Chains A and B, each alone.
Chain A
Amino acid sequence: MATLNDYLLVSGLLFAIGLAGVVLRRNIIIVFMCLELMLSAANLTLVAFSRFHVSPNGLPDYNGQMLVFFVITVAAAEVAVGLAIIVALYRARQTIHTDELTSLKG
C-alpha cells in the first residue's frame, strides 16, 4: 500500500517537470501544458493529504477534496481563456514562440 510520502514524491516530480517545462521550453503551448501539470501536482498533494488526514469518526478530511474540485473548475476556465489568448496571439503575430514575443517591455 502506497504511503503519503509516495504520493508527495510523485507530486513533487510532477511539479518539477512542470516548472522545468515552463522555464526551459519556448513553445507557448508546451509552456501552457506545463503550467497545467504544476496545477495537477498541487491537486494531487491536496487529495493525498485529504486521504491521509483521518478525522475521529473514521472518515477522511473532505475539505481538501472540495478545494481540488474548485481548482479543477477554475483550471478548466483558465485553459479555455488561455487557449483563446494563444489563438488570438497566433493570429496577430503568426508565432507562438516566446523568444519572439517581446512587446512587454517597460
Chain B
Amino acid sequence: MNPAWFLLFLPLAVAAANQLVLKKTGLAPIVSVASALATFMIAVLLLGKNETAHFAWATIGDFSINIGIKLDQLSTGMMIVVTGVGLLVHVFSLAYMKDDAAKARYFTGLSLFMFSMTGIVLADNFIMTFIFWELVGLSSYLLIGHWYQKDSAADAAKKAFLCNRIGDFGFMVGILMLWGITGHLAFDSMKGGLEAFQTANPAIFGGVLSAAVLCIFCGAVGKSAQLPLHVWLPDAMEGPTPVSALIHAATMVAAGVYMLFRLQFTLGFEVFEGLQASAIIAWTGGITALVAALMATQQDDIKRVLAYSTLSQLGYMVMAVGLVSGEAGMFHLFTHAWFKALLFLGSGAVIFACHHEQDIFKMGGILKKMPITSITFFIGVLALCGVYGFAGFYSKDAILVAGGLDSTVIFALLTLGAFLTAGYMGRLVWIVFFGEPKSDAASHAHESGFSMVLRLVILAVLSVVGGWIGVWPEATGEIIRDNLEHLHHAEGHDAMHSKVMLLGSAAWIVGLLGSFLFYGVGKNGDALQNRAKPVYEFLKARLWFDEIYGFYVAKIQQRFAVLLSVLDIFLIKGLFVRGSAGLVGLVGACSRSLHVGNIHGYVYWFLAGIILLWALAAGVAL
C-alpha cells in the first residue's frame, strides 16, 4: 500500500481518537505531536516520488467521485512545507497551550487541520480538492474560535468562515464550469479534454476558460485572503499564536496559491498566456500586495503586522501566478513559509515572555532580554525584506523579474510594496527590540526555554538556506527550477535582473533606514500620528474596508433581508400557507354548522333543494 494513504489518513484517525477516546486522559497532545512527526517523516520519504492512486468514493451511474493521491514534485515539495511547519507548530503548541483547559479540543483541531491540508495537497482531482478545501475552512474556524468564550474570537472565527464561504461558492462554480469544459475532474486527464474543447470551439474558448479560471480564482481569493476578501485574516489573529503561524505561515493561505499553480500546471502554461483571467489575477495580487503593505504600516498588534505582511506576500505569489510565472510564486511560497513561521513563532515567544502583551508600543528593549530570539527574528525580517543571500531574496527576485518583464506599472507596484515591507518590518524591529522596556511585563521578559530557541534557530537557518535551490533540489522541485531556468532565458531577463537587483536592494535599504529615521528607536507613540494625522487615520482604519463591509451588511444587506423577511412572513407564510389553510378551515366550519343533527333541519334543506331545482327547471332563477 502506498504510504501516502497513511500520510493522508493518520491525522484524521488521530483527530477522531483525540476527540472520542483520549479527551479525558491528557494523552491527546502527545498523540497529535507523534502523528505530526510521523507525517513529516513520511513526507520526507515520499520526496521525488511520481505516482497516482485512487479509489471511488461515490459512484452515480458511470460518474464517480474519487478520493485519490497524486504524488509529483509539486505535491511532495508542498507536503514538506505543510508537515514541516505543522510539526513545528505542534511542538510549539505543547508549551504554548500547556495550561489551556481544552487542550484535547485544540489538538484535535490541529490534527483535523493537518488532515484537510494534506488532502488539498495530495488531491488528484478537483472534487477532492474542494472537499478538503471546505474541511480546511471548518478546521480553521474551530482553531480561530478556540477561545470561544471571548466574543472577539468567536466573531473572528465566524468572519473567517463566512469570507471563505463567499470565495468557495465561486470556486465550486468554477470547478463545475471546468468540468463542463473538459469533461474531466481528475488533473491528469483535464488537459486532453481542454484541447478537445479548444479544437471544437475555438471562438469561445478564451472567454469560457477565462470565466472558469476566474471563478476558481474566487476560491483562492477567499482562502489566500486577497482583496477584497482579505478582512478575515487579520481578525484570525484572535486565535492562539501557534494557530496564527500554522494558518498563515505555511498552509491555509498558501492553499490558494498552491491550487492556482496546480490548475496552471494541469492545464498547461501556454493556455494562460494572454488569457484575460490571468491579467485580472495578476492585478488582484499586485494591488493586494501594495494595499496590505500600506495597512501593515499602522498596526500596533505585533501579530497583526505579521498578518498584513502575510497578505502582502500572498499578493506577490498570486500575482506571479497571474503573470504565468506560477513557479516563482510557488518558490516564494516555499521560502516564505519558513521565514514567516520563524517570525510568527518569534513573535509568539515575545508575546509569551511579555505575559500575552501584543501591543508593540508596550514592548521595547527585547534585544537585551531575549538575544537569541531577537537575532533569529532579525534574520526572518531580513529574509522577508529580500536582503541578498537570504531565502526571500531569491524568490522575490524571481517574482519581480516576472513582473518587470510584464509591465512597468506592475513592477512599480511590487517595488513600492517591497519598500513598504522593509518600512513596516523596520518599524516593528526598532520599536519592539530596541530602546527601553515600556511596560512591567516587557522589563521582566526573559529568553524562552531551550526547545523553543532550538526551533527558532532551525527556522532561522532554513530562512537563509531555503532559497538556495541547489542545496536540496528535491524539496523545491525540478518543476520550479526548470521553469525558473526558463524565466532566466526569457528576452530582456539580464537587463531586468540587474534593474531588480538595484531597485530591490534600494527598496529594503531605504525602507529600513527610513523607518529608523522616521520612527527612531523605542518610541512610545507612532510618529506618523503626529506628523500626518489624516494619513495615519486612513491607514489605521485599514482603508475602511471593515467599515464599508459593516455598512454594506448592516445597512444594505440587512435591510434587504428585513424586506425579504416581511415578504416571507406576510406573503408566503401569512397569505399562501396560513391563508389557504384558513380558507379550507372556514369552508369546513360553515358546512359543519349546517349539520344540526335534527331531521327537520334536513327536511327544510331538502325542501329548499327541491325549490331550487324547480326554479332552475322553470328558468326562474339565474
Q: Which residues of A contact B (CB under 8 A)?
A: 22-23, 26, 28, 31, 98-99, 101-106
CB contacts (< 8 Å) of B592 on chain A: these are: 106
- Which of B297-305, B459-467, B597-605 forms part of the interface with chain A? B597-605
Per the 8 Å Cβ criterion, residues 129-156 of B in contact with A are: none
* A105–B604 touching, CB < 8 Å: no
Per-residue interface assignment for chain B, residues 581 to 608, with 1 indicating a CB less than 8 Å from any chain A CB and 0 otherwise:
0000000000110111111101110010
**Nearest CB to that of A23 among chain B residues?**
B603
A23-B604, A23-B607 are contacts. A98–B599 as well, Cβ < 8 Å?
yes
CB contacts (< 8 Å) of A98 on chain B: these are: 598-600
Q: Pick the most buried of B592, B595, B598, B604: most chain A CB atoms within 10 A of its CB.
A: B598
13 other A-B residue contacts (CB within 8 Å) besides A31-B599, A99-B598, A106-B592? A23-B600, A23-B603, A23-B607, A28-B599, A98-B598, A98-B600, A99-B600, A101-B599, A102-B597, A104-B595, A104-B599, A104-B602, A106-B594
CB contacts (< 8 Å) of B591 on chain A: these are: 106
**Nearest CB to that of A102 among chain B residues?**
B597
**Nearest CB to that of A25 among chain B residues?**
B600
CB contacts (< 8 Å) of A101 on chain B: these are: 597-599
A102, B597: Cα distance in complex, Å = 4
Neighbour of A102 across the interface among B598, B603, B604, B607, CB < 8 A: B598
Residue contacts A-B, CB under 8 angstroms, 21 given: A22-B603, A23-B600, A23-B603, A23-B604, A23-B607, A98-B598, A98-B599, A99-B598, A99-B600, A101-B597, A101-B598, A102-B596, A103-B597, A104-B599, A104-B602, A105-B595, A105-B596, A105-B597, A106-B591, A106-B594, A106-B595
Neighbour of B597 across the interface among A26, A28, A104, CB < 8 A: A104
- B212 vs chain A, min Cβ distance (A): 64
Per the 8 Å Cβ criterion, residues 552-592 of B in contact with A are: 591-592
- A16 vs chain B, min Cβ distance (A): 12
CB contacts (< 8 Å) of A99 on chain B: these are: 598, 600
**Nearest CB to that of B607 among chain A residues?**
A23
Size class of B's contact patch?
10 to 19
CB contacts (< 8 Å) of A102 on chain B: these are: 596-598
**Nearest CB to that of A22 among chain B residues?**
B603
**Nearest CB to that of A105 among chain B residues?**
B597
CB contacts (< 8 Å) of B598 on chain A: these are: 98-99, 101-102
A105, B595: Cα distance in complex, Å = 5
Q: Pick the most buried of B591, B592, B602, B603: most chain A CB atoms within 10 A of its CB.
A: B603
**Nearest CB to that of A26 among chain B residues?**
B600
A26, B595: Cα distance in complex, Å = 18
A31, B599: Cα distance in complex, Å = 11
- A19 vs chain B, min Cβ distance (A): 8
**Nearest CB to that of B599 among chain A residues?**
A98
- A1 vs chain B, min Cβ distance (A): 32
A104, B598: Cα distance in complex, Å = 7
CB contacts (< 8 Å) of A104 on chain B: these are: 595, 597, 599, 602
CB contacts (< 8 Å) of B607 on chain A: these are: 23
CB contacts (< 8 Å) of A23 on chain B: these are: 600, 603-604, 607
- A92 vs chain B, min Cβ distance (A): 16
A104, B601: Cα distance in complex, Å = 11
CB contacts (< 8 Å) of A28 on chain B: these are: 599
A31, B600: Cα distance in complex, Å = 10
**Nearest CB to that of B592 among chain A residues?**
A106
A103, B600: Cα distance in complex, Å = 13
CB contacts (< 8 Å) of B604 on chain A: these are: 23
A77, B604: Cα distance in complex, Å = 26
- B613 vs chain A, min Cβ distance (A): 15
- A44 vs chain B, min Cβ distance (A): 20
A102, B595: Cα distance in complex, Å = 10
The 7 closest A-B pairs by CB, nearest first: A106-B595, A102-B597, A105-B597, A98-B599, A104-B597, A106-B592, A105-B595
CB contacts (< 8 Å) of B600 on chain A: these are: 23, 26, 98-99
CB contacts (< 8 Å) of B595 on chain A: these are: 104-106
A103, B597: Cα distance in complex, Å = 6
